[in-house]
Amino acid sequence: MEMEDKHMARRKVAAGNWKMNKTPSEAVKLCEEMKPLVESDSVDVIYCVPAIDIVPVVQAVKGTNVKVGAENMYIEDNGAFTGEISADMILDAGAEYVIIGHSERREYFSEDDDFLNKKVKKALEKGLKPILCCGESLEQREMGVTMDWIRFQIKSDLTGVTADQVKSMVIAYEPIWAIGTGKTATTEQAEEVCKGIRDCICEIYDQATAEAVRIQYGGSVNAGNAAELFAQGDIDGGLVGGASLKADFGKIVNY
């Protein structure tokens, strides 16, 4: 297969990361408003929502093309872990995906790569599809260690994960300096790192796994820049924060 065909073979995936926004009733209202805008036969559409919104959002998107994901989960099956939610709870609520290792979790909740590796393995063991996030700080980019850092994150977070499991995952490259700042990475910067991640997957696993895994860009994706970003050979869609809460998300899905 030609490289072009392989790129075409990967379905684009547009995922919204709602973060800590929308009460259950607001979430249902947003789903209703977005319904006609996010229809697509060719792009996978996912809403990653606060835990308390999962059940009402699953109900609200029933019969549509929208899939639902959680924004976080814990590494244990059940037990005395006050405030946490398990993979089984997320699945039983009707969600299929879970964001793991978002930079806000890494920074504000001190989640390190050893812990995130446990989360990835638990999610996969249970049949949840991880959207694994990685990304460098501005300081790291300026020091010239971006790719070293990303490779460290990918290798650590995927320790003990099989090739078949990786094929079911989504990896999101999100430079921390581009998140919520309105400062998107240039198309070249985004493609360079997404390609670097695919090369890293090829080194750890093999060519087939590298070609199957979907790699998103995230960080100030909006209706104006999505088309150019998603046209790159190694960018298979986006993880979208702010713009996923507005009609813009429909434009991003139908870029």
Q: What distances in angstroms separate CA 123 from CA 37, 157, 177, one per listed residue?
A: 30, 12, 28
Measured from the CB of residue 42, what is the shortest distance to ligand PGA in angstroms? 22
Cα(219)–Cα(152) distance, rounded to whole angstroms?
A: 20
Measured from the CB of residue 115, what is the shortest distance to ligand PGA in angstroms? 19
241 binds ligand PGA (CB under 6 A): yes
Measured from the CB of residue 99, what is the shortest distance to ligand PGA in angstroms? 8
Measured from the CB of residue 49, what is the shortest distance to ligand PGA in angstroms? 13
Please say if 174 is a catalytic residue.
yes
Cα four-point dihedral sign 251, 64, 170, 83: positive
Are 189 and 150 within 8 A, CB to CB? Answer: no
136 binds ligand PGA (CB under 6 A): no
Choice among 71, 102, 111, 191 that is catalytic: 102
171 binds ligand PGA (CB under 6 A): no
Closest residue by Cα to residue 57 from 94, 92, 85: 94
179 binds ligand PGA (CB under 6 A): yes
Q: Name the 3-class secondary structure at 167.
A: helix
- Toward ligand PGA, which CB reaches closer, 161 or 223? 223
Closest residue by Cα to residue 15 from 38, 39, 45, 35: 45
Q: Which residues are catalytic?
A: 102, 174
Enumerate binding residues for ligand PGA (CB under 6 A): 17, 174, 179-180, 218-221, 239-243
